[in-house]
Amino acid sequence: MSLIEAISNIFKSKDSFPKEPSDFFSGDKTTEFIERLNAKSLRAIGLSPLDALTLKICEISQAEYIMVAKTSEEEGYFRTISICNQTNPIQNNHFSFKINALLKHPNPDTPVEVDAQVVFSQTNLPKSKHGNCIALQIRDNDKTPMGIILGISKPSRARTLTNVIKFYSDHLTTEMRHLNSKEKLEKKNKKLLRTEEELKLKNQLLDNLNKNISKAKQVVDESSRLKSAFLANLSHEIRTPMNVIMGFTELLSAANMTSEQRRNYIDIIQQNGTRLLHIMDSLIDISRFQAKNIGKEQHAFSLNQMLQQLYNNFNADIEASGKPITLTLTLSKNHGEDVIVLDKEATYKVLNHLLDNAVKFTASGSIRFGYEIKEKQILFHVEDTGIGIPEGKEKEIFDLFRQGDLRLSRQFGGTGLGLAIAKRYVSAMNGQIWCSNNQSSARGATFKFSLPLLAASKNRTETLSQNSSGALTVAATTMISNDSLL
């Protein structure tokens, strides 16, 4: 016996219709009726609770379509969430529609008959052969509209459809409330997940910030330590020659001094005065780098003459120091072919600092320097057989206040500014500077720097050649050595 037949047997005549609700529940067929009413259809297996309920309403009312829709964000519209015919739920065919007759009805708790064609005109469903359409608003406990249930059936089944819809309206309210709660929870979960991801990202940013702050603190601490060491070295570098100058100046006042002693003392005073002058030049150079034109004053000059001057100066210093060092200069261009366009002062100072560094850290052996012109750049080199560069310090020694090993500053002297100044001059001239330890058996290091080369004008080259006609002419490769020290 079907559910419809069971209902017909209970209400087969007017006399058998229960007068009171209690009469209905005391009837002989009531238990069977309730069980059949609540029984789940075999076709509902695997469906969502809402689709299963929609299918049951459709089966009991024998409606052609049952649609359940929820209120849309667009005012006055509904969006279907469950559609069933007498066979199966219709999946993946949801749509939005508007029913003005339902919205304007004075009693929202009463089923309303609406024009089915108005609904079908807003859908892509096959049009119904029947025109009877019953709709009922579904409202929450606080009377807030949640949606509607809409059924389409034969005219003879309109009353059955109305009663079935009214009977299951509470069930629909519960299911839609659960559905809304589920959607709210899903939205909250998504929001929580987004918040969690944002918190993770913020934690990562904070971790990175803390690491950066820690690194910055280490840099500040290291900078502070280096500045303290620099000031201590600077104090020593200034006080030592000052004390020498003051002491020997006082000795010069002695009456019983020979002319040879006086000449020797004057030389010592001059050497220490020159040492002080170099320190002051380095400090001035550091402050001058704030100017934008450093290394930009380019003009043509004879490169061989400039290097010859450096050779003469440092060869004299080596002889005065008594170190057994051979100084060698290599020139790759003949006189007249060596005219280049660069910032002469900046180039001179870079080579001067590199040679000063080589002489300072070389106790014996040799120092070689020179240049090589390659296409549109010129490559300078200074090679020594000194103490070399501590491993891993090849880049660090070009930083301000840095020396290869701070423990050697007292032994060899120096402020830690020379290489930093050289690098800044090279960078200002759009060049590059680097260094490495020698790979041969002899100890020491090689410093190289390259500069972009501009062609000198022909007139300027001829003028320089004429002005320096009395200068020393060298071959394509000239070795000038301190033979007396060999």
Residues 171 and 53: beta-carbon distance below 8 Å: yes
pLDDT score, position 98: 82
Q: What is the sign, positive or negative, of the torsion defined by CA atoms of 294, 296, 298, 304?
A: positive
Mean pLDDT in residue range 124-143: 79
**Position 26 confidence tier, pLDDT thresholds 50, 70, 90:** confident
14-28, 66-80, 365-379: segment of lowest average pLDDT: 14-28
Do 481 and 343 share a structural domain? Answer: yes
Residue 329 lies in a domain: yes
β-strand pairing of 325-330 with 365-374: parallel
Higher pLDDT, 336 or 441: 336
pLDDT score, position 378: 94
pLDDT reading at 2 higher than 60: no
CB hemisphere CA count around 184 (13 angstroms):
6
Residue 4 lies in a domain: no
DSSP letters along 335-400, please? Answer: TTS-EEEE-HHHHHHHHHHHHHHHHHT-SSEEEEEEEEEETTEEEEEEEE-SS---TT-TTGGGST
Question: What are the backbone angles phi and psi of residue 68, rounded to the nearest 5°?
Answer: -115, 125
Residues 350 and 425: beta-carbon distance below 8 Å: yes
Residue 11 lies in a domain: no
Residue 34 lies in a domain: no
What is the C-alpha separation between 25 and 369, in angstroms, rounded? 116
pLDDT score, position 213: 93
pLDDT reading at 414 higher than 70: no
Do 357 and 311 share a structural domain? Answer: yes
Give per-residue pLDDT as tens, 67-83.
999 888 788 888 888 99
Give me 331's structure tokens. 């020139």
Do 472 and 342 share a structural domain? Answer: yes
pLDDT reading at 481 higher than 70: no
Residue where the block lists tokens 């060491």:
229
**Position 124 confidence tier, pLDDT thresholds 50, 70, 90:** confident
Residue where the block lists tokens 């608003």:
137
Residue 386 lies in a domain: yes
DSSP state, residue 450? E
What's this model's pTM, rounded to 2 decimal places? Answer: 0.49
What are the CB-based long-range contacts (under 8 Å, 24+) for 375-379?
376/452, 376/453, 377/450, 377/451, 377/452, 377/453, 378/303, 378/340, 378/342, 378/450, 378/451, 378/453, 379/448, 379/449, 379/450
Give per-residue pLDDT as tens, 254-268.
878 888 888 888 988
| Nearest Cα to Cα of residue 108 among 80, 138, 151 | 138
Q: Which domain holds residue 361?
A: 293-485
Give me 460's structure tokens. 């300027």
* Last residue of one domain, picked from the residues 149, 167, 185: 167
What is the C-alpha separation between 198 and 480, in angstroms, rounded? 70
Q: End-to-end CA distance of the chain, in Å?
A: 127
Do 261 and 302 share a structural domain? Answer: no
pLDDT reading at 154 higher than 70: yes
pLDDT score, position 46: 81
- The per-residue pLDDT of the chain, averaged, comes to 80
pLDDT score, position 306: 95
Residues of the chain above pLDDT 70, percent: 79
What are the CB-based long-range contacts (under 8 Å, 24+) for 318-322?
318/359, 318/482, 318/485, 319/482, 319/484, 319/485, 320/267, 320/271, 321/359
| Nearest Cα to Cα of residue 99 among 73, 71, 64, 66 | 71
What is the C-alpha separation between 34 and 41, in angstroms, rounded? 14
Q: Which residues contact 45 (CB under 8 A, 6 or more apart)?
A: none
* CATH number of the domain bearing residue 80: 3.30.450.40
pLDDT score, position 423: 92
Do 82 and 162 share a structural domain? Answer: yes
Do 216 and 156 share a structural domain? Answer: no
Do 436 and 314 share a structural domain? Answer: yes
pLDDT reading at 466 higher than 60: no
* Last residue of one domain, picked from the residues 272, 304, 325: 272
Domain count, the chain: 3
**Position 441 confidence tier, pLDDT thresholds 50, 70, 90:** low
| Nearest Cα to Cα of residue 438 among 375, 382, 376 | 382
Other C-beta atoms closer than 10 Å to the C-beta of 409 total 19
pLDDT reading at 271 higher than 70: yes
* Last residue of one domain, picked from the residues 150, 167, 184: 167
Do 204 and 155 share a structural domain? Answer: no
| Nearest Cα to Cα of residue 150 among 214, 219, 101 | 101
Do 118 and 229 share a structural domain? Answer: no
What is the C-alpha separation between 11 and 70, in angstroms, rounded? 34
Residues 397 and 404: beta-carbon distance below 8 Å: yes
Do 303 and 225 share a structural domain? Answer: no
| Nearest Cα to Cα of residue 486 among 376, 326, 334 | 326
Do 460 and 327 share a structural domain? Answer: yes
Residue 277 lies in a domain: no
Residue 179 lies in a domain: no
Residues 157 and 134: beta-carbon distance below 8 Å: no
Residue 317 lies in a domain: yes
Residue where the block lists tokens 């309303």:
112
Q: Output the CA torsion 113→117→119→120 (10° steps).
A: 140
Helix (H) or strand (E) holding 440: none
Do 309 and 258 share a structural domain? Answer: no
* CATH number of the domain bearing residue 307: 3.30.565.10
Give per-residue pLDDT as tens, 179-233.
889 989 999 999 999 999 999 999 999 999 999 999 999 888 877 776 777 676 6
